[in-house]
Structure 1
Amino acid sequence: MEDNRNDLDNLYDDDDYGQPAAAPEKSIRGYRIVIVILSVILVALSALYYGLHRQQMLDNELLQADRDSIQNDLGRLMVDFDNLQITNDTLSTHLGVERNRADSLMARLKKERSWNLAKIKQYEKEVGTLRSLMKGYIRQIDSLNTLNKQLIDENVSYRKEISSARLRADMAEEKAAELTNKVQVGSVLKARDIRLTALNARSKPVSRIRNAERLLVEFTLAANELAEPGNRAIYVRIISPDGYPLTTEAMPTFEYEGERMSYSAMREVDYQNQDLAVGIYYNSSGLTAGVYRVELYSGGRHIGQAQVAMR
């Protein structure tokens, strides 16, 4: 009996009192381990979140900087487009098209809300394309300006040459005209030694003009190598003391400086560039004493005159 009781006591000692004492200590240790693991995981997650958040902020800042840089580049490019001075119509049309592309791109940039690296690259490429086109236009404009300057310089040179040639031509023409005028003036016949004599019916000189039946005008056509030789018509106008030209009933006329003038008598002579004595008669009577003026004309030119006092 005692042996059985001892066995029972030992049984209770092992099952009822030994095991319950060890269980709480193990549970606490397990909780601590779990808490530590969770804390480590939380710390790791916090660090990871902070890192991702920081990286995202950095990425957003870089994207914003890239966006601002693209907008600034595009803005400067648009100003360059506006500052281009061009007169070529075709090139100006193309330039206007590219300027509209730049306006459209700027509008898209300002409206863009979802930015990423791919879009940044796309916008950078489009701005780069516009800038390359701008450089091409600048080269073409510089080339056109250089060519235009060369043409202007050549035009100025040609104008100077033309002006110089025209001046020489004008001077030559003026000299030719002057020479022609001198030749024409020099070729005009000149009458000298003009005399007026009163004659009777028998062509004898009389001392009193009231006794005259005719008048004789005598003169010498001077030698002139420049004058054209050949037959010449010589017209005589005898102006009476009262200022009227003496003429016949037929009142013949000749042309002088665009006007018709009456004359007293006319004679044709053969002039051969040497001194030629000429006498021309005018038949009239009833003349009065006084100062008479004798005028001679030939070839539409006035070739001489003289005043003679008649008694």
Structure 2
Amino acid sequence: MENQKSSSSLKAVIAVLAVLLVGSLVYIFKMTSDADVVKTELKTTLTEKESVMKDLQELKSTYDAAIAENTSMSDELIQERDKVVNLMSDLSKSKGDVASMSKYKTQFIALQGNMKVLMAENEGLKKQNTTLTAQRDSTVVVLGETKKNVEALTGQNEELAKVVEKGSKLTVLNTRGSAFKLRSSGKQIETDKASRADALRVSFTIAENQIAQSGDKTYYVQVIDSKNNVVGDKKTETFGDNTLTYSFATNVKYENKTVTVSQDLKGKNFEKGNYFVNVFDKGELVSKTSFTLK
């Protein structure tokens, strides 16, 4: 009888040990699989981190090359380059997890968009400078020959040079962008806080020009927020091969006198950061500025 009890107890112990062994094997297999998944995810995020860092380095190199050319846009280029450098610093300190990499990719895309706009403007300025230099050199040659051959016309040439210097092209200056809080009383209070802004205001001045053609003039104003989105109407106009997306168009009755233009863009939930304001005469950029909302 005792032998039967002993045999039953032994079988029970063996069964329990067998169950524990199977459970241990299943647990070890799961832990190994989970570790492999973690290693794979970590390797992927590290690769993405290296890729984004490489893209940011190329972006910085593009800005460095443009800044070295010392154009009138150098300050704006330096400001955007510093943003890239700061993002590179943040990225190098990050752990490279999936959530943070998604954030860095989004910020890189925004910076890349700003770079394309600034590079296009910079190239335009370089072409304008090249054209102006060629025109200046050509003018110097023509004036030199005229002076040699027609000394008697010196006085008339000086007067003519003054007229040509004035030019017939209108000059747009004092371009300014700002934000306003609208009170229930109708009073407008200027603010630099994005959360308080109810409207953006763009103003600019068209200078007096006595030899310019008077009449109705149309200017297209483009306001771009920190997310590289055009604020306002977002209408488009085609000029030759180029298409312009603008915030609003304003018509001005020009009578050869100085005139100031001001228009508001009402809205809400304005983005924080830098805003760029561009004023176009048809497809030509004639003035620009920027402002910041905190």
Query: Into which bin does the TM-score normalised by the smaller protein fall?
Result: 0.3 to 0.5
TM-score (norm 2): 0.46
TM-score (norm 1): 0.44
- Larger Rg over CA atoms: 1
